[in-house]
């Protein structure tokens, strides 16, 4: 069987023609069946574009489910851990959802588009679970992953870029708010959301307008130093700002094979997303039990001495191994060496001192460092402009 | 307001038994039954003026003797019109086969087959005795087991070990395979093989070649362990058993409300607090015990939206589509079956002349069609009990396999034709049956579902097969009669050990509730 050049088994996003053109490194990876860029030209420069100007990330492969019908809200409320009733129309809420054992299956966002109309964005494919969950509800669940194209526009000049593209009044959009604009006769939905911890937006459009949107956005953003960025730069930004990555910082419960390898929301530091006052939701009984008997782990952010990222490190308290690192990065803006860790519940209070055993290699020479580290309270990157409305102009 | 300690939803035999044991332990119990008469599938019905039959189960073959004794059912009116009946496998050529407990007779039967049957019976009863012991206890949990569970598992293992090396390995070999192969291994006579293999698939949506139908056979033989050396006929029909159970329960202080359909089980913060009747009346209780099948319980009464998705998935996947219908005929006189004497007409008559006959009948059902040559389990109870029909007249009741729940063309269009076909099938063996019939009634699985409020019309509230018994009944993770809904228990045939008017599910559930100190 012969294969034509460029003919792969991977899907292409609606922005692919533009992304491929911009991808100077020709560096690709698979995301949810789509081919997506790991980096476009230079990971550090892409990262600094996001932190100092504006970066654009193609998030079209994200799994998107449209949930409509009279029971849409009730359905979501039984599905996820938080109280969906508190997410008003034109608002977005971050949440997790659990299996019956109270173990996190995924995290994602709920977009409340209109009355009885929601979009659930998920890391993992979820149609099977959503379909089972829909039994007994008057609700329709449709996988619209391929019907909605989306870009994240993130960074201090993101608002200016979009305003200059014609989105008048965008500066008044509050964090986690949703607004709609006309874009060449098509609805352009903008949410003030993102995965970088800075001022930023996600823009959602029909696939047939995707390429035009990309072109107009980059044209309008040119004076504001807009650049595309890939998954590697995104990884730096999300660690710097303290966001968990499904599949990295936890394994979706339905994908774990060995007992005990999944995590509860409490164990991931996401207890604030759990509303046990709801009479029923998936995992409720198990989570109540966990509150009574205690969790096995807890999630901490560590400030690690030195500049060597503590990838995959074991963590010690004295002689005792108390945990492991799930994500690590040297964070350029905050100038700190950050690690996310899962550690035994007995230790890990804010200010606790631990030791990370770091291995690193230079020209086939391996070095082992025992780096002191400290449990810190919250993320190292958390600028005020992230929350300010109206958005500060740059 | 909580008036009752326990509300039992559904006054089937297991519900009544559960209620009776709970009341005996001092609980204030009320049973709510949707139908006019308590008893559930132990019911009688006058389907034509003057003609009464048992409308669902028509033989008594498995009822636990311990329960009979504990509830003093005889004192409360239970009478057997006949017991220890033979099972006669009808052959089209008149060379029928008659099973009497441990022995088999028949003109065409070889001495080898007779000896082989005696040995087969010895072996299967030995296995069923083991089952009967496990059936009398709550099913052990495999994980998180406590001491009682471990002892129960140990007893089961020890029981298997005590079978002896040969019989134990035979049990392990047989339990998982199908009746067809086992019959081929043991016997030559086709009618005998047909008769015995029919016992392995009775009430099930399986054919003789389906896996673990041997388990179905052993399951039925638990009745032999319970002292039924063949089927028994209840005087007045099975409804009389339902009445006796209801009276026994009342005598122990149980309040029974009939014609009171429970619309929903009420929850507060995930805990069962009582029920709402279809008229809107709300009744509170410390515990709710559902005698309804697990699907009806969670889908309709609790509501899928009020429980977690994992539970919904488990419950939705219980296999409980019935392939069994019930035929009732009013006869103006005893039909004459070729090769049978008049006294033999009171025995259990089985039309399943060969295993292939049953398998072919099952094939249709797999594809949503009714069998063109159905297998039948026939009872003419009026031979033993003249109260069921006017003087000189008779009633015939037959279990019909197979009649799929989801018939492709829909039952409304097919009921009459199928009834005619059944009468013709019987006519092959009793040529005068057609002229004897004065009235008829066919209860399809859809009718059985409606009459007895059983999802899918499955009389066992879910298929009896190895993946749905013991700790997997009604589904893995919800065992020992408790449910993920706090304060809600199950006591119906959908729980261990299953249906068959055995009564152990109801009794075991009551014992478990008492043991856990529920509603004390």
Query: What CATH number did the domain enclosing A174 receive?
Result: 3.30.1360.120
Does residue A389 lie in a domain region? no
pLDDT less than 70: residues of chain B: 1-2, 143-145, 518-520
Do A152 and A54 lie in one domain? The reply is: yes
Q: Which of B270, B310, B316 sits opposite A280 (nearest CB)?
A: B270
Q: Which of A74, A99, A279 sits opposite B310 (nearest CB)?
A: A99
- The residue from A229, A260, A284 where one domain ends is A229
3-state SS record for B265-329: EEEECCEEEEEEECCCCEEEEEEEEECCCHHHHHHHHHHHHHCCHHHHHHHHCCCCECCEEEEEE
Question: What are the pLDDT digits (tens) for A268-317?
Answer: 999 999 999 999 999 999 999 999 999 999 999 999 999 999 999 999 99
Domain that holds residue A313: 296-376
All structural domains of chain B, each given as residue ranges with its CATH number in brackets, are: 2-45+56-81+237-318+454-515 (3.50.50.60)
Q: Within an 8 Å CB–CB cutoff, is residue B313 touching chain A? A: yes
Tell me if A100 and B306 make a contact (CB, 8 A cut-off). Answer: no
* Residue A6 pLDDT class (50, 70, 90 cuts): low
Does residue A329 lie in a domain region? yes
Please give the pLDDT value at position A9.
86
Do A337 and A196 lie in one domain? The reply is: no
Do A208 and A312 lie in one domain? The reply is: no
Long-range contacts of residues A18-26, Cβ cutoff 8 Å, at least 24 apart: A18/A211, A18/A214, A18/A215, A19/A58, A19/A228, A22/A228, A23/A230
Contact A84, A130 (CB under 8 A): no
The three-point CA angle B15-B21-B23 to 5° equals 100
- The residue from A204, A229, A254 where one domain ends is A229
Q: A344 to chain B, minimum CA–CA distance in Å?
A: 24
Please give the pLDDT value at position A252.
97
Q: A136 to chain B, minimum CA–CA distance in Å?
A: 5
Count of A-B CB contacts under 8 Å:
54
Whole-complex ipTM: 0.90
Question: Residue B308: its chain A contacts at CB < 8 A?
Answer: 78, 100, 280-285
Does residue A197 lie in a domain region? yes
* Closest listed residue to residue A124, CA positions, set A141, A104, A140: A104
State how many domains chain A has: 2
Q: Within an 8 Å CB–CB cutoff, is residue A135 touching chain B? A: yes
CB atoms within 10 A of CB B103: 12
Do A196 and A304 lie in one domain? The reply is: no
Instruction: Output the six-digit token pair for A148.
Output: 């909605």
Q: Which of residues 293-352 of A touch B (CB under 8 A)?
A: none
Do A33 and A168 lie in one domain? The reply is: yes
* Residue A196 pLDDT class (50, 70, 90 cuts): very high
pLDDT of A394 higher than 70: yes
Does residue A106 lie in a domain region? no
Q: Within an 8 Å CB–CB cutoff, is residue A132 touching chain B? A: yes
Q: A270 to chain B, minimum CA–CA distance in Å?
A: 20
Q: Within an 8 Å CB–CB cutoff, is residue A97 touching chain B? A: no
Please give the pLDDT value at position A45.
97
Does residue A387 lie in a domain region? no
H/E stretch holding A154: strand A149-154
* Residue A5 pLDDT class (50, 70, 90 cuts): low
- Residue A139: closest CA among chain B residues belongs to which residue? B305
* Residue A189 pLDDT class (50, 70, 90 cuts): very high
Q: Which of B299, B306, B313 sits opposite A280 (nearest CB)?
A: B306
> With b meaning 16 or more CB within 10 Å and e meaning fewer, what string describes B350-362?
bbbbbbebbbebb
Q: Within an 8 Å CB–CB cutoff, is residue B165 touching chain A? A: no
Please give the pLDDT value at position B144.
64
- Residue A279: closest CA among chain B residues belongs to which residue? B269
Q: Residue A359: which CATH number? A: 2.40.30.110
Checking DSSP bridges between strand B80-82 and strand B87-89, what pairing results, if any?
Answer: unpaired
Do A49 and A158 lie in one domain? The reply is: yes
Tell me if B305 and A71 make a contact (CB, 8 A cut-off). Answer: yes
Q: Within an 8 Å CB–CB cutoff, is residue A79 touching chain B? A: yes
- The residue from A210, A229, A248 where one domain ends is A229
Question: What are the pLDDT digits (tens) for A305-322?
Answer: 999 999 999 999 999 999
Does residue A325 lie in a domain region? yes
Sign of the Cα torsion B454, B457, B458, B460 reads positive
Does residue A170 lie in a domain region? yes
Does residue A91 lie in a domain region? no
Please give the pLDDT value at position B141.
79
Give CA separation, A19 vs A25, A29, A40, A56, in Å.
11, 13, 8, 10
């Amino acid at each position: 069987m012969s294969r034509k050049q460029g003919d792969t088994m991977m899907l292409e996003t609606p922005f692919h023609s533009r992304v491929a053109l911009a991808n100077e490194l020709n560096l690709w990876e698979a995301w949810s069946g789509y081919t997506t860029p790991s980096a476009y030209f230079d990971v550090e420069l892409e990262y600094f574009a996001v932190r100092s100007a504006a970066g654009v990330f193609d998030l079209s492969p994200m799994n998107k489910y449209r949930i409509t019908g009279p029971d849409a809200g009730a359905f979501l409320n039984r599905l996820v851990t938080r109280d969906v009733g508190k997410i008003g129309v034109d608002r977005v809420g971050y949440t997790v959802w659990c299996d019956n054992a109270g173990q996190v299956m995924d995290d994602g966002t709920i977009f409340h588009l209109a009355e009885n109309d929601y979009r659930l964005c998920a890391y993992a494919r979820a149609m099977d679970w959503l379909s089972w969950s829909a039994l007994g509800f008057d609700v329709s669940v449709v996988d619209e992953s391929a019907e909605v194209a989306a870009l994240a526009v993130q960074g201090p000049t993101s608002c200016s870029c979009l305003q200059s593209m014609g989105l008048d009044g965008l500066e008044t959009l509050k964090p986690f708010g949703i607004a709609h604009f006309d874009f060449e006769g098509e609805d352009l939905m903008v949410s003030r959301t993102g995965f970088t911890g800075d001022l930023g937006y996600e823009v959602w459009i029909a696939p047939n307008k995707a390429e035009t949107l990309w072109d107009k956005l980059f044209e309008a953003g040119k004076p504001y130093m807009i650049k595309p960025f890939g998954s590697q730069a995104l990884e730096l930004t999300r660690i710097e700002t303290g966001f968990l990555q499904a599949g990295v910082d936890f394994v979706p419960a339905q994908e774990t094979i060995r007992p005990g390898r999944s995590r509860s929301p409490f164990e991931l530091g996401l207890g604030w997303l759990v509303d046990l006052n709801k009479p029923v939701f998936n995992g409720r009984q198990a989570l109540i039990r966990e509150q009574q008997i205690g969790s096995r782990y807890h999630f901490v952010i560590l400030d690690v001495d030195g500049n060597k990222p503590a990838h995959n490190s074991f963590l010690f308290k004295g002689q005792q191994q108390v945990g492991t690192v799930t994500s690590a990065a040297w964070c350029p803006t905050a100038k700190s060496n950050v690690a996310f860790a899962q550690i035994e519940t007995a230790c890990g209070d804010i200010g606790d001192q631990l030791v990370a055993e770091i291995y690193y290699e230079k020209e086939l020479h391996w070095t082992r460092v025992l780096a002191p580290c400290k449990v810190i309270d919250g993320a190292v990157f958390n600028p005020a402009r992230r929350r300010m409305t109206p958005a500060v102009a740059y | 307001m909580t008036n009752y300690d326990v509300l039992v939803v559904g006054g089937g035999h297991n519900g009544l038994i559960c209620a009776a044991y709970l009341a005996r332990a001092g609980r204030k119990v009320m049973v709510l039954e949707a139908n006019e008469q308590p008893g559930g599938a132990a019911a009688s019905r006058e389907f034509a003026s003057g003609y009464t039959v048992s409308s669902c189960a028509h033989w008594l073959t498995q009822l636990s003797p311990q329960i009979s004794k504990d509830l003093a059912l005889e004192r409360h009116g239970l009478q057997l019109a006949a017991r220890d009946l033979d099972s006669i496998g009808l052959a089209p050529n008149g060379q029928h086969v008659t099973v009497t407990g441990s022995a088999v007779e028949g003109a065409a039967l070889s001495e080898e087959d007779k000896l082989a049957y005696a040995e087969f019976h010895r072996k299967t009863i030995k296995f069923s005795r083991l089952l009967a012991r496990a059936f009398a206890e709550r099913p052990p949990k495999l994980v998180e087991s406590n001491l009682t569970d471990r002892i129960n598992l140990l007893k089961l293992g020890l029981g298997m070990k005590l079978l002896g090396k040969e019989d134990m390995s035979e049990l392990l070999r047989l339990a998982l395979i199908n009746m067809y192969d086992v019959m081929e291994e043991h016997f030559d006579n086709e009618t005998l093989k047909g008769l015995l293999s029919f016992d392995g698939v009775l009430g099930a949506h399986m054919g003789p070649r389906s896996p673990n139908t041997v388990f179905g056979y052993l399951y039925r033989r638990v009745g032999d362990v319970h002292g039924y050396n063949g089927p028994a006929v209840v005087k007045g029909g099975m409804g009389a058993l339902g009445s006796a159970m209801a009276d026994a329960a009342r005598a122990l202080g149980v309040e029974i409300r009939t014609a009171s359909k429970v619309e929903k089980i009420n929850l507060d913060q995930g805990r069962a607090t009582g029920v709402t009747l279809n008229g809107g009346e709300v009744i509170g209780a410390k515990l709710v015990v559902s005698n309804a099948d697990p699907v009806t319980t969670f889908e309709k009464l609790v509501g899928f939206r009020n429980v977690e998705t994992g539970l919904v998935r488990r419950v939705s996947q219980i296999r409980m589509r019935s392939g069994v219908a019930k035929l009732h005929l009013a006869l103006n006189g005893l039909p004459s079956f070729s090769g049978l004497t008049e006294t033999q007409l009171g025995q259990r008559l089985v039309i399943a002349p060969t295993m292939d006959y049953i398998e072919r009948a099952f094939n249709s059902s797999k594809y949503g069609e009714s069998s063109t040559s159905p297998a039948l389990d026939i009872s003419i109870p009026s031979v033993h009990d003249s109260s069921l029909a006017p003087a000189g007249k008779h009633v015939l009741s037959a279990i019909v396999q197979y009649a799929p729940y989801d018939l492709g063309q829909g039952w409304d269009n097919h009921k009459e034709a199928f009834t005619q076909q059944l009468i013709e099938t019987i006519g092959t063996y009793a040529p005068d049956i057609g002229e004897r019939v004065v009235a008829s009634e066919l209860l399809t699985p859809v009718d059985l579902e409606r009459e007895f409020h059983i999802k899918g019309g499955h009389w066992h509230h879910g298929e009896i097969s190895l993946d749905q018994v013991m700790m997997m009944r009604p589904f893995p993770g919800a065992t020992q009669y408790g449910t993920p809904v706090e304060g809600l228990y199950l006591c119906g045939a959908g729980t261990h050990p299953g249906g068959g008017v055995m009564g152990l599910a109801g009794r075991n559930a009551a014992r478990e509730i008492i043991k856990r100190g529920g509603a004390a």
